Amino acid sequence: MAQVYISITGLKLKAIWHAPRFWSLAMPAMAEAQSAPGNLGASARSIDGVHHTLSIWESEAAMRAFLTMPRHLKAMRAFPGIATGKTIGFYADYAPDWPEARRIWEAKAREYGAPRARLP
């Protein structure tokens, strides 16, 4: 496999009553990711109360173009009011499975708004 761009996110709701709004935004945004140009795969899992996404892209530019798509942009704008979270993006020779993605996220992800994290 040629190098791909991996994006791993994790969001934790600020309060349980934000769940309906979260899911009403997250589900359309995931569908949008899965059909976005340059997306090679996208999935989501809830692990220990953290809602994760794992997406694989042809390039960082393709992932960044997705960030401004309408449903994802709507979700990103709502995010600060309903959740906290961390993210990491990096190039790799392969797509990690969920256990490895979670380990990478725990070790290397940065809080939203912090300087970008990079894998060594």
Query: What digits encode the pLDDT tens for the residues 37-86?
Result: 999 999 999 999 999 999 999 999 999 999 999 999 999 999 889 999 99
Tell me: the pLDDT tens digits for 64-77? 999 999 999 999 99
Question: Rounded to two decimals, what is the model's pTM?
Answer: 0.89
More confident of the two residues 97 and 117: 97
Confidence at residue 90, expressed as pLDDT on a 0 to 100 scale = 96
72-79 contact pairs (CB < 8 A, 24+): 72/29, 72/32, 72/33, 74/25, 74/29, 75/25, 75/26, 75/28, 75/29, 78/21, 78/25, 79/11, 79/112
Q: Which domains does the chain have, with CATH numbers?
A: 4-111 (3.30.70.100)
pLDDT at 4 over 60: yes
